[in-house]
Chain A
Amino acid sequence: QVQLVESGGDVVQPGRSLRLSCAASRFTFSNFPMHWVRQAPGKGLEWVAVISFDGSDEFYADSVKGRFTISRDNSRNTLYLQMNSLRTEDTAVYFCARGGFTVTTISNSWGQGTLVTVSS
C-alpha cells in the first residue's frame, strides 16, 4: 500500500517562507510524477504544482507561480514544496499525491495533509 506522509506545516507570518516535505514509501518513487494539492479551511480543492518523475519538468498554478517551488530527491524518496512570500490566502491543508503515467494525472494515493497557517 502506497504511503505518503507530509510534514512541515506550521503557523507563519505573511511574507515568510516555509518548506513542506512528503516522504514516500512502498512504491518506486522515481517512476512517478508527484503533485501538491491544497484545501483552504472549509473550501474546495486547488491544484498547486506537479513535478515530473525525474524532476526535469515543473508546472504551477498561477496563484503560486514565482513564489512556490516544487522539487524532489529521488535518492531520499521525498517530495518538497518551498513556499516563499507567503500570503494569508495560502492558508490551507497541503496534500501530496502520486501522479499517474503523465504529469496531468493524479492517482488514488494521497497523503493525510499538513496544515499551513499564514497569519500575523
Chain B
Amino acid sequence: DIQMTQSPSSLSASVGDRVTITCQASQDIRKYLHWYQQKPGKAPKLLIYDASTLEAGVPSRFSGSGSATDFTFTINSLQPEDFATYYCQQYDRLPLTFGGGTKVEIK
C-alpha cells in the first residue's frame, strides 16, 4: 500500500497568513493526488485534483503543486472560513490512501 505522510499535523495561523502543507507518498503516484478540506461534522470537500488543478468554484487562494512523491498545498491569505482540517489522498492505485490530516487553527 502507498503511505501518505502529511505534515505538519497541526498549525496555528492568523487571517491573512500564507499556509503551506506538505504530503509525501511512499511510491511514485505521478500526479494523482487530491487535497480535501473538512470541517467538523461535515463530509470532506475536494479542493484540488491532479495535484494542482482547482476544483470548480474553489477560491484561487488555494493551490497545489508537485508530482511523483512530493506535493505541496498552499493557502494564500488565510480567510476565517479556511480554518479546518486538510487531507491529501492518492488515487494512483488501490487501496486509496489518505494523509493523516493537518488541522489549521486560529492563532
Bound state CA distance, A107 and B34, in angstroms? 10
Chain A: which residue is nearest B55 at the CB level?
A108
Beyond A44-B100, A108-B55, whether A62 also contacts B95 by CB under 8 A is yes
Judge whether B64 is part of the interface by a CB distance below 8 angstroms: no
Beyond A106-B34, A108-B46, A110-B43, whether A45 also contacts B94 by CB under 8 A is no
Judge whether B16 is part of the interface by a CB distance below 8 angstroms: no
Judge whether B98 is part of the interface by a CB distance below 8 angstroms: yes
A38 to chain B, nearest CB (A): 11
B59 to chain A, nearest CB (A): 15
Interface residues as binary, A44-86 with B (CB distance below 8 Å gives 1, 0 otherwise): 1111001000000001111000000000000000000000000
Size category, B interface: 20 to 34
User: Which A residues between 98 and 120 are near B, CB-CB below 8 angstroms?
Assistant: 103-108, 110-113
* B91 and A46 within 8 A (CB): no
Partner of B94 from A50, A95, A113 at Cβ < 8 Å: A50
Judge whether B107 is part of the interface by a CB distance below 8 angstroms: no
Size category, A interface: 20 to 34
Interface residues as binary, B95-107 with A (CB distance below 8 Å gives 1, 0 otherwise): 1111111000000
Partner of B91 from A62, A105, A110, A113 at Cβ < 8 Å: A105
* A108 and B96 within 8 A (CB): no
Bound state CA distance, A105 and B55, in angstroms? 14
Beyond A44-B100, A45-B87, A45-B89, whether A61 also contacts B44 by CB under 8 A is no
Contacts of A106 in B (CB 8 A): 34, 46, 89, 91, 96
Bound state CA distance, A47 and B98, in angstroms? 8
* A45 and B98 within 8 A (CB): yes
Beyond A104-B92, A104-B93, A108-B55, whether A44 also contacts B87 by CB under 8 A is yes
Known contacts A44-B100, A62-B95, A112-B42, then 5 further A-B pairs from the complex at CB < 8 Å, ordered by chain A residue: A44-B101, A46-B98, A47-B89, A110-B43, A110-B44
Interface residues of A (CB under 8 A from B): 35, 44-47, 50, 59-62, 95, 97, 103-108, 110-113
Query: Which 3 A-B pairs give the minimum distances between C-beta atoms?
Result: A110-B43, A108-B46, A47-B96
